[in-house]
Structures are given as structure tokens and as C-alpha cells.
Amino acid sequence: MLTTDAGLSTAQVAERIAAGQVNDVPVRSGRTVAEIVRANLLTRINAIMGVLFGMILVVGPIQDALFGGVIIANTLIGVVQELRAKRTLDRLAIVGAARPVVRRDGLAVEVAAADLVLDDLIELGHGDQIAVDGVVTEAEQLEVDESLLTGEAEPVVKQVGDLLLSGSFVAAGGGAMRAGKVGRTAYAARLAEEASRFTLVNSELRGGLNTILRFVTWLIVPTGLALIVSQYLVNADDLPEAVRRMVAGLVPMVPEGLVLLTSVAFAVGVIRLGRRRCLVQELPAIEGLARVSVVCLDKTGTLTDAAMAVTEVRHLDPAAPVPELLGLLGAADERPNASLRAIADAYHPAPEGWRIEERIPFSSARKWSGATVTDPSGDSARWRLGAPDVLLPAGHPVLAEADAYGARGLRVLLLTCLEGALLQQKAISGGPSLHPVALVVLAQRVRPEAARTLRYFAGQGVAVKVLSGDNALSVGAVARTLGLPGAEHPVDARTLPTDPAELAEVVRRHTVFGRVGPQQKRGLVAALQAAGETVAMTGDGVNDVLALKDADIGVAMGSGSPASRAVAQIVLLDNDFGALPAVVAEGRRVIGNIERVANLFLTKTVYSVLLAVVVVLSQVPYPFLPRHLTIISSLTIGIPAFFLALAPNSERARPGSVGRVLRFAVPAGVVAMGATITSYLFARSVYDGVGGHGGDLAAETSAATLTLFLVGLWAVAIIARPYTWWRVLLVLALGCAFTVILVVPFLQEFFQLSLVGVVAPGAAVGLAVAAGLALEVIRAGLRRSGADTPAVRHE
């Protein structure tokens, strides 16, 4: 650094902490414990069910209030799972958080971003995310990218006294800043106060479910009022019985467990990914990954290890002091990129007697760094080190040698002697003023998991695009060794068209792109999105930040720049590219399974509403008590849905899930209602005059319960496909559980179930079989039309 400002003292830091002048920023990883409890407890569904539960407690008996226990259990499960997910997120967020370097008591120390205080002196280096607002106090060729705040593409050169805003990041050079605004008063914190908090409720999945719930709520009101009047009139001499039958009709209309299972599925997904050292910074990212159709990868740090090694130096000018220059340039950068670090390791220590008079740090946009160097004799020369095809004009003979190395998958840097003004920082300065001195050849190790990961994406129908700042031939060679289709035709991004439609066509036809600048990465992602693709972007460097931000899902490496980690939705803390399939699979599991079990919940809602309407029109007692529907809901919806929601599922999510669910749930609900009411009315005719009130009400209810259970079990058997051993066992266990209730005397009495004779029960079974076959016809029709759900699709 340029000065030796000691920064704050320990006492000064303590004073500012006591005054509350700390960087207290919004928590990104989740909502507070109070918010979690409130969100799971104070819901529209719980309010409806709570009122009904209270009514049953007044009229009794207690077995008709069992549904209240289910609601309480659901709420507790949701709270516990979300708290577990919060702990996982918070623990990983601490590990993955950027740690700015500050000077305190004259020492440079790393602190958590939340521990920064007002007037802290913060050191800045390449790739650092600026965590607070402040003023530049030291600048060494400092360039700051403010595009995330302003949209301006060009990095801004900052001098001492210039303002720095949080949310920007260092694109090149280094320096220091004095913190002027911290915490919620900082610019980026004010913008992100709401957007950076827990955002599960904004997901496409939850949005669809909320739409359904709003519709159901409005449907319940008129249906419920009509049912109340009907049951009061039918049971005029028995008000408690009227209340019980009315509550029984209203309770199943509410898909109470669906929201719970959605929350649990997301929470379990967070926990599972946390075990794989994947930090999910925004929970909808789990859902978004299920919808990904294209994955854009950076080569360095993703397909290859970030670390490099110098394998060869090709001397183009034998008289040039190449080792001394490389050693000096490698040591000059306090935060070197991987290439300079490899050079510094190969030519360590830096030569004595040589010094740098002025320097231009490396930037991803320029693709070169430069310095004015004075040798021990006092002679000065200007040097540049960077990409050969950027520094030299097209057709230069040295480029043929560089391309030959690149075709072998090697990275090549060119050392040149420059005549003219060094500080001309605009992109390319080729021509006769550049004198090639040496080619520096670097090798990277291909990640062992890269080929397996690419095969996974190919097998899942997800396209892979490699967007790299390296030479296109080199990138293509690496991609070919990994078996990536299309890698034999790499594209130099400098030749890409600027017209969006033409660019979209090029990116559709090609797989590998080299010499891609930060803005071009952003443009390629936008072109894919404009073509209707859902894009995930992985990267670790400053040049990936804009693309990570704009992609539908940004995935950063844990060892990447703080800026890349800050804008990504998911951070792979162990830099394990091979963990990405597990992340994608987790997203698909969540979305596919929630869509799968939503069929069960909404089928119940449909048949409950229709059954209430038919009962009102028929002026008969409602065919069930709450206890009966608790059995049916638990055995044909709640229990199987819980297992199915957490099962493996690799099907890529498609848009329009609500429509697909309704296309199955509505006809299935009609079939279930038709079979149930027919069974009930038939039983009433069979038992007419047997038990008072025109018949044996318990026997009639039992026949209807048997029919509805069997139809529900058949629906579970359809939704559970394709069958595995545990799914078959699940269906059999559900059937056995209901059988136990029917044959054990205590349970018969507790649940008021009694199958009398053989005619009505036989008819109940026959009607259930007919309804089940109708469900199979519906399933087959959806398969043929393509308007199917994941359960129908997986055969």
C-alpha cells in the first residue's frame, strides 16, 4: 500500500461498537426464529381450522377433534424443520462470508463484514466486494466496477478522496478506504433490505400454491354457509350432530398439509445441501435449479483447478532478461490471479536491484497487466504481460505458436516490450510498438469430477455452455478431453455478432466460447434467456460477477472472489464442481415431488367441495364425521404425501405445474365424489328403516368411508409410480392400517365404523373399483395429451 495509516485502535473500535456504529446488515440466509414461528402458526389455513376445531371441542366427542392434533403437529413439524434449515444456513453463511481486511492498531487483520465499524480503514484488492460506503484513502491503479449499482459497464478509476459505494467491487488494482456509512445506512444495504431476506414465499411454486389456496378460501365460504344451513335443517333435533357433520364437510376442503410439505421439502433440501457444503443463499434457488435447461460454466476453477504451474517459457528474444522480469512482475501484485501466482512460484524470489516505477494491474476486461521496470543499471523499459491474441495484431507469426500451445489445452501468456505510453489503458495496443519477448506456457489440471458432471447434465437433457476468458483453442481442447459435444468448434467471442437475434442463434449452435469478456458473458446469458432457456451460471472470478447476477441461478465457488460469492444464490464452499448434480437433483426432487403430492391434496379439495354441494341439494346428512375424514386424510394423503415429498426425483420441472395438477385433480375429485355419494345413497336405501332417522347412519357412513378410502388409496397407487420396493410397501401398509381399524373392536367403536351385512359393503368395494379404473383412464388420457404430472410421466 502507499501509506502506513495504522487505522483505528482497539479502544476506538470498542467505542464505536458501544455506540452501535457497526455494520449491522440484513441477514440473507433466513428469517428470524420469531418470523419462522409466526409464519407457520398464523396462517389462513390455521385460522379456518382453528375455528372448526374450537366448535368440535364445544360439542364433542374428542375423537372428532383429531384433525386439530394433525394441524398442531403440522405446525410443529414446519417450525422444527425450518429452524433446522436456518441453523444450517447460518452456520454455512459464516463459513462462506467474505472477510474484509482492516487495519487496527497498525496491523492488517481479517474481520467478518458484520464486525466493521465506522471509520475502519479497509484494505482493497482485486475481486474484493466493497462492504460499506466510504472514501478512498489510498489508491494504486484502483479500478472499481459499479455495474451492479449503476448498470455502467466500464470500471471506474478511483483516486484518493473519491467515494466508494457498497455493492461495487474491485476490478483491478488495490488501495484502502475509510468506512463512512455502515450497516443499514450504507447504499447497497438500503437497496437490499427486503430483497436479501428470506424469499421462499416469492418462489414460483409457492406462488402457484397460494393462488390455489386463495381460490379454495373463496370457494369454502359459500359452500360452507350452505352446508351449515343444510345440516341444521336435516339434523334439527340434534344440533351437536349438525355441527359435527358441518365441520366434517368443511375440514377436507382445506389442503392444510400442502403448504407444510412445501416448507418441509425446501427445508430438508437446505439441510441436505448443507451436508454437501453447499450454501443456499436464497431458498428459491433450490426450486430454480429444478427448472434449469442450460448450465454456463467458466473453465478455470470449474472444469479445471484454479491453480496453475509454469511448464515452459519459450524465449523469443534471447537477449531479454525474461526470468528477472517474470519474477518481478509476479511479485508486484499483492493479490495475484492464478496465472501470476504460478509465475511468482516459478521465479521466486523476485530479483534484487530491479524495481517497478509504475504499474497497471491485470483486469479481466483488458486481459493484460503492465509495468515500467528499471534494471540495476538504471535503464527503464515498459513491459506488458497478457493474452497473445489481445496484445498482438491478427496474423502476427507469434500467434501461430501460441495457438499451437492452446490447441493442447495449455494457457499461454505473452511478455512484450512496449514503446510508447504505458498508461494508455484502453483495450488493445498491438502493432509495431510491441516487441514479443517470451511465451509463458501454463498448465492446469482438469478436475477429476468434471467429466462425470458433464455426463450427468447430458443425461438429464441440460445443455452445457463453456464461457471462458481464455484462448478459444485452449478452452476447446480442455472441453474435448472431457467429451463435451461441440467442443471441436470453439468460438472466439470477439467475433460474436452484436445483434441479439444473431447472437442467440450463435449461442444456440455452439458450445465453447473463448476470450469472453465480462459484458459478453452477461450478453450470452441474456441471449439464452431470451430464447426461453432457464440459465444457471457458475464462476469464481470478478469477470463472472455480472453473468452470475443476471443468470436465473448463480453458482459461485467458495474460493472465488468475494464479489462472485456475494451475488450468487448458491456457493459451493468446497469448490467441488462435482456437487452441482446433487444441487440440481435436490431442486428437481423438491419441485417434482411437491407437484406429485399436490395431486392428492387438491383431489381431496375437489371431492369435498362437490360432495358438500350434492349433500346440500339432496338434503341428507353429511356422509362423514370429522373422525372418518381424519382417517381418510391421514392414510390416503398426509402419510403417503410426506414420504413421497421427500423421495428421490430427477424429473426436470416444467412451467405450468398448477394447470397440470388441476387437470388430474379435478376429474379425479369428480370421480371420487361420484363413487362416494353413490355408495352412501345406496347404503341409505339398503339400511332404510333399520336404525332410525331413516336408516342406520353409522353403517351408511361406514360404507361411504370404505368407498372413499379405496378410491383415495388407488389415487395414491397412481401418484406413487414408478414403483420401487418402498413405494409398494407404503401402499400395502396404508391398506393394512385401514383394515386394522375395521376389524379391531376398540377402533371400530372409537371411529364409529361398522360394516353391516354384505350388500352395501360389496357395493362400496365395487364402486371403488369402478372409480379406480376411471382414474386409470384419466391417467392414460393425460399421458397421451402430454398434459401430465410427474407421477403420470414416470412410468
**C-alpha cell of residue 197:** 431476506
Measure the CA–CA gap between 454 and 482, rounded to whole angstroms: 8
pLDDT, residue 414, reads: 92
Angle 594-669-74 from CA coordinates, rounded to 5°: 40
Measure the CA–CA gap between 309 and 304, rounded to whole angstroms: 12
Cβ 168 vs Cβ 144: under 8 Å:
yes
In eight-state DSSP terms, residue 301 is: T
Peptide bond into 623 cis (omega under 30): no
List the end-to-end C-alpha distance of the chain, in Å, as a whole number. Answer: 65
Measure the CA–CA gap between 775 and 792, rounded to whole angstroms: 11
Measure the CA–CA gap between 66 and 70, rounded to whole angstroms: 7
pLDDT, residue 734, reads: 94
pLDDT, residue 219, reads: 76
In eight-state DSSP terms, residue 653 is: P
Backbone angles phi, psi at 177, to 5 degrees: -140, 155
Cβ 526 vs Cβ 550: under 8 Å:
yes
532: left (phi over 0), alpha (psi -120 to 50) or beta: left
Measure the CA–CA gap between 773 and 714, rounded to whole angstroms: 9
**C-alpha cell of residue 439:** 511465451
pLDDT, residue 469, reads: 82
**C-alpha cell of residue 771:** 372409480
Query: Is 379 known to be catalytic?
Result: no
Cβ 537 vs Cβ 468: under 8 Å:
no
Query: 323: exposed, middle or buried (C-beta count within 10 Å: 0-12, 13-18, 19+)?
Result: middle
**C-alpha cell of residue 723:** 414403483
Q: Strand 535-539 vs strand 553-557: parallel, antiparallel, or unpaired?
A: parallel
List the chain residues with pLDDT less than 70.
1-4, 25-31, 44, 70, 74, 89-98, 147-154, 187-206, 236-237, 256, 282-284, 419-432, 650-655, 688-696, 786-795
> Pick the catalytic residue: 120, 298, 540, 696?
298
How distant, in Å, are the alpha carbons of 52, 203, 532 from that of 684?
27, 47, 56
Tell which residue, 246, 236, 93, has the closest CA to residue 629. Answer: 246
- Exposure on the CB side of residue 569, measured as CA atoms within 13 A: 26
**C-alpha cell of residue 331:** 511479485
**What element of type H or E holds 759?**
helix 759-785
Q: Across the chain, what does the average pLDDT equal?
A: 80
How distant, in Å, are the alpha carbons of 600, 714, 738, 741, 776 from that of 770?
19, 11, 20, 24, 10
636: left (phi over 0), alpha (psi -120 to 50) or beta: alpha
Measure the CA–CA gap between 103 and 110, rounded to whole angstroms: 9
**C-alpha cell of residue 481:** 478431453
pLDDT, residue 195, reads: 37
Is pTM, for the whole model, over 0.95? no
The residue with cell 446433487 is 582
Measure the CA–CA gap between 428 and 414, rounded to whole angstroms: 13
Domains and CATH numbers, the chain: 10-28+97-192 (2.70.150.10), 204-271+585-788 (1.20.1110.10), 278-303+448-575 (3.40.50.1000), 308-445 (3.40.1110.10)
How distant, in Å, are the alpha carbons of 328, 360, 422, 664 from that of 372?
11, 9, 7, 72
Taking only Cα atoms into account, the Rg of the chain, rounded to an integer number of angstroms, comes to 33
pLDDT, residue 239, reads: 76
pLDDT, residue 222, reads: 83
194-231: buried (b, 16+ CB within 10 Å) or exposed (e) per residue? eebbbbbeebbbbebbeebbeebeebbeebbebbbebb
How distant, in Å, are the alpha carbons of 68, 496, 589, 642, 657 from that of 592?
29, 38, 5, 13, 9
552-591: buried (b, 16+ CB within 10 Å) or exposed (e) per residue? bbbbbbbebbbbbbbbbbbbbbebbbbbbbbbbbbbbbbb
**C-alpha cell of residue 783:** 399421458
**What element of type H or E holds 602?**
helix 580-618
**C-alpha cell of residue 354:** 530491479
Tell which residue, 216, 218, 199, 333, has the closest CA to residue 266. Answer: 199
The residue with cell 328403516 is 689
Cβ 169 vs Cβ 145: under 8 Å:
yes
pLDDT, residue 705, reads: 92
pLDDT, residue 97, reads: 64
Angle 677-209-273 from CA coordinates, rounded to 5°: 125
In eight-state DSSP terms, residue 68 is: H
Those residues whose C-beta lies under 8 Å from the C-beta of residue 134, and which sit 6 or more positions away, are 122, 163, 164, 177, 178, 179, 180, 181
